[in-house]
Structure 1
Amino acid sequence: MSTTVLTELFARPGRGDDVAALLLEILHESLAHQDCETIRIIRDQDDPDHVAGLTQWTERQDYTGYLGWRTARGFTGTFEAMLTRPLVISYYDELFAGQGIAAVRESGAGRRPQ
């Protein structure tokens, strides 16, 4: 079963753009990392200095290995210099995933001919 990981980054005031830009810059390497299934970069609508990565990995150990690889390459330190506190990392098992009517309507699936 896949592991969903929420990694929260709380940027210093005004540094949310920098944190988001760095996450997007390294995105292609992250997606190419072994056992990475999906990545979403999200930002708090009420606090632009609160940025997060919502990722899915084959197993929890795959993310911890990836984080170790990023740390060894200096990226964790680069992020931490822009943050007010250490990364907040939470691991989740998925219990359910589904699409609501708005997603189905947007994709055109399930539309009736007129």
Structure 2
Amino acid sequence: MTCLVLLELQIDPAQRDTAPSIIDETLVATRNWPGNEGIEVRVDDDDPNHVMIVEQWARTEDHAAYAQWRTTPEGASRLREIVAAPPVKTVWSSTLPLRD
């Protein structure tokens, strides 16, 4: 089943200038991971330090394998260097059927 992953970041204001390059560096591996169907980064209109990374995955298993890899030394990212608080991740894979 496909899934949508939202990763919410609160950027440390002192790291605002370096944040874009570190986020981009991190997301190269995400974009190239098998099963990733797309990714974008949105910035809160009211708070430029509040960022939402939106990931689309072909299968929940693809994202689970990617998330597991991120816990290894090889998969570690530099995001912790730029955030003011721990990131918040939510995974959305269930849907409600809607009538036409």
TM-score band, normalised by shorter chain:
0.7 to 0.9
Identity across matched positions, percent: 28
SS in 2 for 1:62: helix
Q: Are positions 1:22 and 2:25 aligned together?
A: no
| Counterpart Cα distance in 1 of 2:63 and 2:36 | 8
Higher helix share: 1
| Counterpart Cα distance in 1 of 2:56 and 2:50 | 20
| Counterpart Cα distance in 2 of 1:16 and 1:44 | 14
Gaps of 5+ in 1: 97-114
Structure 1 residue ranges (4+ consecutive) displaced by more than 3 angstroms after TM superposition: 93-96
Gaps of 5+ in 2: none
Give the counterpart letter for 1:35 in structure 2: G
Structure showing greater radius of gyration is 1
Equivalent residue number for residue 101 of structure 1: none
- CA spacing shift, 1:51–1:16, aligned 2, 3 Å: farther
Count residues with an aligned counterpart: 94
Q: Which one scores higher on RCO, CA 8 angstroms, separation ≥ 6?
A: 2
**How large is the Cα RMSD of the aligned pairs?**
2.2
Q: TM-score, normalization: structure 2? A: 0.76
- CA spacing shift, 1:50–1:70, aligned 2, 3 Å: same
